[in-house]
Amino acid sequence: MIYNYKTFRNIIAILILFSLSNCSKKTDLDENQVFRYNEHSNISSLDPAFSSTLRNIWPVNQLFNGLVRLDEDLNIVPDLAESWTISKDGLNYNFNIKNEVYFHESQSFGEDLTRTVNANDFEFSFKRLKNPKLGSPGMWALENIKSFKAENDSIFSINLKKPFAAFLGILSMKYFSVVPEESVLFYGDKFGKNPIGTGPFKFKKWEENIKLVLRKNNLYFEKDSLGNQLPYLEAVAITFLPDKKSEFMEFAQNKIDFINSIDASFKDQLITNDGNLKENLSKPIKLISGPYLNTEYIGFYLGKKESHVNSKKLRRAINFAIDKKKMMEYLRNNIGYPANNGFIPKGMNNDSNTQGFDYDLEKAKRLVKEYKKENKIENIQLTLTSDANYLDIIEFIQRELQKIDISISINIVPASTLRLGKSTGKFEMFRASWIADYPDSENYLGLFYSNNLAPNGPNYTHFKNNFYDELFESTYFEQNKKIRENSYKKLDSIIISNAPIIPLYYDKVMRFTHKDVYGLKTNPVNQLDLRKVYKK
């Protein structure tokens, strides 16, 4: 039997509601101790040196620890470092390593099966990450490190080439997880399939394209506030269904416990226009949402003098002409926040009050008329390039700019072509996004630093401003967080004033779980932390 799309969608909706209304069925004790989720993008490696995407970062976070980590509010807190000191000049960092932290049991350690972590393990791990033969995508994070070494078993020191106040945030990335030399040598290039770390869960088995299983690490060093051993769960099971629709049906049938975001074809059946879970679904499932450190935007390439987009007046007019609130409500069900402030997204600990571009059609029209008169032109034709995933938003922008007499041609290209074109200055207007590598506003503001001009850096717009550069460089030396954040606000305001971009929206984490899952939270970097999750 052949179904059209509408019929298929209606059948799916009925199955969802039926399944969810019956998802409170009893499960046995073992089932209650296993947390299941699907990774539709698959997992390429469990080696932290290759944890460049969420699909790899999530399981790696269950298996490994670093010197520091982020709490749910993006504060830097101790992980395997008990404490640390920073020299007055901001160049030297000394970390005191915790005692009695054990690696996962493995035959790579010989008869003892395990041993405790010490500072030498961090020296080995950093050397390994730096080795070009390994080919880690995280090598860039070491660029500002001049040297590092284990001073003794308990103290690991790092010396920087130049001060960088956001350095601890960089160290929170999973690239800097500690790995044991014995296990790396024992498994060789198979270490990514046989990971040995210190995390709350340990590797059990991996059936390619079918399932990955992690088991509770009974040697884990952390306890909760009541003295109970972490983690609470007995196991984590990850499946690899490649289709998001199939993934959601697994969730609807209670075969997995959690999904991160939803396929666009389901959003209207689950989410109201206000971005909340529909009332008829609130009994069987929970929606956990919050800011995500991702800014979606349109960039203007300023490297061609003859292009219309070199006019700040015109760029500002375009910003005023887009009703982002309407865009988010009707195209995204408010899964995200209209970008009416600066480039720095919601969720970053900077309390940014940068005044962005509120919708003002009359002001936009006036600026366009002034631009045309000053340049003695009648028609403005621009080309906006995107991949197909954002076609609805691009078409919305096209319609909005028609209202101010700007004609937009849409150029849809493959994602790889879009990336290359952004780097080489091929597109005068392009859709882009920036997800934080580390939780500091500097990571966003660096996109407009002139020393980062693409293709050698992420300044795809080729924005240049001497005052901006000087202020940006001064933040490297400022250890006082409050003073540094004030500078970040000024930098963000400069970007908005000059408008080399159109901030569209700040993203949102959307997590759906069943009612029997407790302790699962969200965070602005969309990290999956299962240490305190349990089911009942």
Task: Express each pLDDT in 14-64 by its tens digit.
Answer: 445 444 444 444 434 467 899 999 999 899 999 999 999 999 999 999 999
Q: Are residues 389 and 504 in the same domain?
A: yes
Q: Are residues 174 and 320 in the same domain?
A: no
pLDDT for the residue 3: 41
Q: Are residues 49 and 92 in the same domain?
A: yes
Q: Count CB atoms within 10 A of the CB of residue 90.
A: 17
pLDDT for the residue 351: 55
Q: Is 91 exposed, middle or buried (0-12, 13-18, 19+ CB in 10 A)?
A: middle
Are residues 490 and 506 in contact, defined by beta-carbon separation less than 8 angstroms? no
Which amino acid is located at 397 in the chain? I
Provide the token pair at 310.
């070199």
Q: Are residues 445 and 301 in the same domain?
A: yes
Q: Are residues 308 and 442 in the same domain?
A: yes
pLDDT for the residue 27: 39
Provide the token pair at 40.
């539709």
Supply the pTM of this predicted model: 0.86
pLDDT for the residue 179: 98
| Domain CATH for 308 | 3.10.105.10
Are residues 410 and 352 in contact, defined by beta-carbon separation less than 8 angstroms? no
Provide the token pair at 241.
């269904």
Total residues found in the chain within this entry? 536
| Domain CATH for 188 | 3.40.190.10
Residues of the chain with pLDDT under 70: 1-30, 349-352
Q: Are residues 234 and 147 in the same domain?
A: yes
Q: Are residues 492 and 531 in the same domain?
A: no
H or E stretch covering 50: none
Q: Which candidate, 156, 157, 155, 129, places its Cα nearest to that of 142?
A: 129
Provide the token pair at 151.
């001073």
Residue 58 included in any domain:
yes
pLDDT in tens, 520-533: 999 999 999 999 99
Q: Are residues 222 and 102 in the same domain?
A: yes
Q: Are residues 81 and 46 in the same domain?
A: yes
What residue has token string 């993934």? 247
Q: How many domains does the chain have?
A: 2
Q: What range defines the domain where residue 477 resides?
A: 292-508
Q: Are residues 201 and 349 in the same domain?
A: no
Provide the token pair at 305.
């003098």
- Sign, CA dihedral 26-27-33-34, equals negative
Provide the token pair at 423.
């780097």
CA–CA separation, 289 vs 391, rounded Å?
25
Residue 92 included in any domain:
yes
CA atoms within 13 A on the CB side of 502: 27
pLDDT for the residue 119: 98
